[in-house]
Structure 1
Amino acid sequence: MSVDVYSEKASCERLLSVHRWTDKLLTFRTTRPAGYRFTAGQFARLGLEVDGEIVSRAYSITSAESGEELEYYAIIVPGGKFTTRLDAMQPGDPVWVEKLSYGFMTADRFTDGSQLWMLATGTGLGPYLSILQQKDVWEKFQDLVVVHCVRNREELAYADKFDALRAQAQANGLPARLHYLQSVTRESGDDAVLSGRITTLLRDGGLERATGLAIDAAHSRFMACGNPEMVTEVREILRERGMTPLRRTGGGQFVTEDYW
């Protein structure tokens, strides 16, 4: 798409900073368009100019709804047009942000339940960072559970952020308890990090043992974001346990989003 055509639906913003977790994982921030609104858990469509044309991709917003800047968590795809360009960018370079936000994986869609389970592989962690920066989610649920599964320990980003969110909630007297579980699939686990895929830990009770919580349709609400194979299997497991997808008309215990 040409720059002129794309500019009709997007705002030209600026790259503010890049934080590299590994050679392939990075967090980047941009300026926020005037009047831009989103609900925590939604994603933005971003555009970069490559050879005179705009290449656009969707990225979940990891910053708070009220943040002055927009933050995203990304993986560099070898040979990918967008991320190859992103990887070479410097602060001050232009990033196009579409004027609308997208997506339905938001915590405010759940009307009941006392536990919110947020399952993620890789950069699927992104939307939960935004959700947990919203005060109302800490007031709505008794237990908030984040499960982040990656291949190797070096890919376990944002641990300090979750510690800070927990401490901030406690300091503000917010009632929910945050359980943050990390898991790796290509290394051995220990007391701090679990070993195994999310779906394996969900099937064999490993997540329940690690949190001390019982999963059931009456109290447990689920979000799953990441690898499409993981998301598909999570849906199957939850259906086996008597749960159904969340619908716009109400009812249901889980909502999912494929992340590539």
Structure 2
Amino acid sequence: MTIQMKPEVEINTNYYKVLEIRNLTENTFVVTLPKSRFKFIAGQHISLSIEGDYQSREYSIYSAEEGQNLEILVKEVEGGYFSPKLKHLKKGDMVEVHGPFGKFGLDTKKQVTHKHVFIASGTGIAPFHSMVKSYPNLDYRLIHGVRHMEEAYEKNHYGEDRYFLCTSRDKDGDFNGRVTDYIKQAEFDKNTAFYLCGNSDMIFDAMEILKDKGFDRDSVNVEVYF
């Protein structure tokens, strides 16, 4: 596992009014905030809290480095404390943003010379959405593992033939099964840089599969969600 060193980005605390809550599915949504002077590197995350609330949560940034707004992708946790509160925010409500944090991002030394394969489960797609939007000329392939087809969050945002969907609970994706099942049978060029983001079980299993395929730790960058 490698962690790429990136240029230093100043960590700020900013207070923003919510611009929009954009629902993608019944329980997944995008929180849109004005970007102001907030600077970050695609792949980084923020810590978000709601005005008047004592708790905060970390979310990968969903929007482009030079995008007009700052966005995060959130899945409401059933019975959870924080995500339901986020979902019910209204335009004009205040939130507090700390960050950016983290060194997960594109391997800049391989940005032009290599193919980039993004492997995500669920909302782990968020940092890859940011990378793709930030670097439109990137040679990438995005492999996304979800349960149902409806969780192919804004798949039209990705280049034609670059987004590949694995669905474990229905047969409406490009592959029926877990994303790790697909990786086992897939073939990858030797000059490939891999990026994994999502739940820890998927990441550790995928790392072992890639190791068996001959890719060492220097070829794999990870961001573990839980």
Give TM class, smaller chain: 0.7 to 0.9
Higher helix share: 1
Deviations 1:73-92 (A, max 9, x none): 11001222211211211011
Q: Could you tell me which residue of structure 2 aligns to residue 30 of structure 1?
A: 33
Q: Could you tell me which residue of structure 2 aligns to residue 160 of structure 1?
A: 156
Amino acid at match of 1:80: G
3-state SS of paired residue (1:54)? coil
Q: Which has the higher contact order (CA 8 A, sep 6+)?
A: 2
The Cα of 1:25 is off from its aligned counterpart by 0.7
Task: Tell whether the 8 Å contact from 1:224 to 1:231 is kept in structure 2 after alignment.
Answer: yes
Q: TM-score, normalised by structure 2?
A: 0.87
| Residues 1:188 and 2:171 aligned together | yes
Distance 2:36 2:80 in 1: 26
Deviations 1:198-257 (A, max 9, x none): 11111123xx4xxxxxx24x3111001112100011111122223233xxxxxx101011
Distance 1:188 1:242 in 2: 30
Q: List 4+ stretches of structure 1 deviating above 4 A.
A: none
Q: Could you tell me which residue of structure 1 aligns to residue 6 of structure 2?
A: none
Q: Could you tell me which residue of structure 2 aligns to residue 238 of structure 1?
A: 210
Distance 1:160 1:138 in 2: 16
3-state SS of paired residue (1:132)? helix
Structure 1 vs Structure 2 CA RMSD: 2.1
3-state SS of paired residue (1:200)? helix
Amino acid at match of 2:166: S
Count of residues paired in the alignment: 215
Pick from 179, 191, 195: which aligns with 1:219? Answer: 191
Q: TM-score, normalised by structure 1?
A: 0.76
Distance 1:133 1:108 in 2: 16
Unmatched tracts of structure 2, length 5 or more: 1-11
Distance 1:108 1:138 in 2: 15
Larger Rg: 1
Distance 2:42 2:20 in 1: 21
Distance 2:192 2:70 in 1: 30
The Cα of 1:102 is off from its aligned counterpart by 1.3
The Cα of 1:33 is off from its aligned counterpart by 4.3
The Cα of 1:105 is off from its aligned counterpart by 1.9
Task: Tell whether the 8 Å contact from 1:125 to 1:225 is kept in structure 2 after alignment.
Answer: yes
Distance 2:174 2:145 in 1: 10
3-state SS of paired residue (2:123)? helix
